[in-house]
Structures are given as C-alpha cells and as structure tokens.
Structure 1
Amino acid sequence: MKMLSRRAFSGLAVGSSALAAAVGGAWPVRSALAASPGLRDYGKAPEFTGIDKWLNSEPLTMQGLAGKVVLVDFWTYSCINCIRTLPYVVGWYEKYKERGFVVVGVHSPEFAYEKSTRNVQDAIQRFGIRYPVAQDNGFSTWKAYNNQYWPTFYLADSNGQVMRRHFGEGEYAEMEAAIEALLARRPPA
C-alpha cells in the first residue's frame, strides 16, 4: 500500500496554494466552487470490509444505508489535519442527520498505538463524535476505497454513488454545498 506521508501531503497542499495564488489568486476560484457543489460520479461506494470494531453503532453496510446521503471520512486520531476537519464533520452530522445524512468515520491507524480500541474510544469522546466509527486496523476498507491519504472524504448519494471526494483539509463550504445538493435530490422517505 503506497501512502503519501503527512509531510509530503502538506508540501503538496502548500505548493498547490502557491501556484493558485501565482496564477491569479485563489479567492475567485474558491467563491466559484462554493456556488457549485462540484459533483461528479466516481462510481459505486465500496462496502465496509474487515472492520475490527464498530463504535457508536452496530455494524453498517453501504447497502443498508441505501436512501441516505453518506459521508465516509478516513481519519486517525493523532493526525493534526484530521483533527482540524472534525469540527466541520461533527457539525455537518448534527445539522443534517435528521434529513437522511449519515457520517461514517473510518479510523485507519498510522501508528501502532492508534490500533487500540480504548484509545479510539477516548478520542471519539474527546472530539465529541456521535456518528458511527469503523475501526479499520487492517486497512481493508481503506484498500477497498483505494485511499491514500488522511483525512479523505467520500460523499455518496442516496443510490450509493460517490459523487464528491476531497483529500486533506479545506473546501468545507464546497463539501457542505455538495451535502445539501445531494440531500435535495434524495427521494422523500
């Protein structure tokens, strides 16, 4: 499994921002993206596989979540980039859960101590996470999604199609616009 280190990913993000600024500034690009949710069909969302433990939930499947808009968030509790995204993810969950929105946090550890269920439970409590968290110590679900980064978001529509993905921090307004757009398309329950 080839993964980009946090340092390399951060360098990539900084370089991309500098390039955007040099080409004419990132502000107009950001505001244009905020107006459009940037949806694209990336294919069917893979099932959750090889999960060691489910926290805050009974075991879930993408098939069982049919009809819901699902945000799959690959994270690990000691990743500063992941920690910075959590207030947004927790906020989206609280704001939209009554409208058919589900967040599944897939905790995929970078370090051995992050495999401890007790440590993950402590982090869930510390960060105020009330949505389901799948402990993916063997990286089975990570591999099923062909994921390479922490954090990464995969947003699936009510038919289970991944319609938006995002690697790293940022684009919070764009992701929320995509969540709202997919909820608006969702058939009435």
Structure 2
Amino acid sequence: MFAAIRKAAACAGLAACAAVAPASASADINTHAAPEFAGIDTWINSAPLTLAQLRGKVVLVDFWTFACGNCINTLPAVKSWHRKYSDKGLVVVGVHTPEFPFEQDTNNVKRAVERFGITYPVAQDNRYATWAAYGNQYWPAFYLIDKHGRVVYSHVGEGDYAQTEAAIEKLLAER
C-alpha cells in the first residue's frame, strides 16, 4: 500500500504519467527520421550531441525526470544496456524533461545523475523542445533510432525490458 502511495505521489497531478498510462511498445512503428535534439541548454556527461554526429550508431533516447518513480525504476535496465552495448555501437541519451519546477534546476539534475550513477549523456530539456519534436507524452519513454537515423521502435512506461533489449540487439546487428 505504501509503495503504491509513494508512486502515486511521485506522479501526482500528471495526467500523462506512465503510472496511469498503459505501457506500450511498438517494434515496428511507422519509421520516420528522428528529430534532432532541440532546445537543450545543458548537457551532462557529454559535450553537446547531434543525431548527425551519431549517424551509423544505434541511439536510445530515454525521456525521464528524476522525481518520477517509474523513470527511476527503468534506470537499472537503461544503465545495463549502456554498459553492455556502448562498445558495440549503442549510444544512450537521457533527455531529462522536468515535470516540476525543482527539476528544472541544473544542479538538482546533476546531483540526481550522480546519485543514480548515470554515466551516459543527459540532455536537459527544460523547454520541452525535444519532447515536442518527438511528440512524446509520457515519462518514461524510450525511442530507438537505427543507424540511418530513423525512429524504428518506441516503448512507454516500465517493463518489456527483454523486448527492448532484443530490439537493441537486432538494430546493432544490422548493417
């Protein structure tokens, strides 16, 4: 009971929170060119990145925010994929899009990145520009971009980690 209340409190007042939205995955969404990272003022753990720079790699874009319990629950899987596949061509980019005003503070985001042991690049999307470019509506949400720069997979919410990892492996194996 307490855990359910804590999760609800982490997403209180947010109609678009993945806690109340059904988890969904699409292994074969209508592929389209991945939107560029937009409106990013601060990059953590990295110099600014562009998708043009990352062409030829598989990119996992992870929309998250540090006070969302569902987002925190996905971090072990995301960090594992980063460790396991970064030397094989996967680039994980966390796009931190705040829900609450205190999540807009760069120092708070940096402390959260350190606390959670995140070593991959994190883009701070305070203006929701990248969020809007992807048409995203949920925390957490994953978008996989193939080596040609197309969004070919998405997943909303927690779970289906094996399915997401299989999609990563398939994309990494493609020429």
Normalised TM-score (structure 1): 0.81
Q: How many residues align?
A: 162
The corresponding residue for 1:42 is 31
- Two-structure CA RMSD over aligned residues (Å): 1.9
Residue 135 of structure 1 pairs with residue 93 of structure 2? no
CA distance in 1, matches of 2:117, 2:28: 29
CA distance in 1, matches of 2:68, 2:22: 16
Match of 2:22 among 13, 38, 48: 13
Question: How far is the alpha carbon of 1:65 from its aligned partner?
Answer: 0.3
Compare 41-50 and 57-66 and name the one that shifted more.
Answer: 41-50
Q: Does the aligned pair in 1 maintain the 2:16–2:139 contact within 8 Å?
A: no
Q: Does the aligned pair in 1 maintain the 2:19–2:70 contact within 8 Å?
A: no
Consecutive aligned runs of 4 or more in structure 1 exceeding 6 Å deviation: none
Residue 51 of structure 1 pairs with residue 40 of structure 2? yes
CA distance in 2, matches of 1:164, 1:147: 13
Residue 63 of structure 1 pairs with residue 52 of structure 2? yes
Match of 1:85 among 74, 92, 102: 74
Q: Secondary structure at the match of 1:158?
A: coil
Identity %: 56
Q: Structure 1: any 5+ residue segments left out of the alignment?
A: 17-32
Q: Structure 2: any 5+ residue segments left out of the alignment?
A: 1-13
Match of 2:151 among 158, 162, 165: 162
The corresponding residue for 2:140 is 151
Query: Which structure: greater strand fraction?
Result: 2
Normalised TM-score (structure 2): 0.87
Q: Does the aligned pair in 2 maintain the 1:4–1:148 contact within 8 Å?
A: no
Query: Which structure: greater helix fraction?
Result: 1
Q: Secondary structure at the match of 1:49?
A: coil
Residue 107 of structure 1 pairs with residue 96 of structure 2? yes
CA distance in 1, matches of 2:20, 2:140: 15
Point out the structure with max Rg over C-alpha: 1
CA distance in 1, matches of 2:165, 2:99: 27
Residue 4 of structure 1 pairs with residue 15 of structure 2? yes
Q: Does the aligned pair in 2 maintain the 1:4–1:149 contact within 8 Å?
A: no
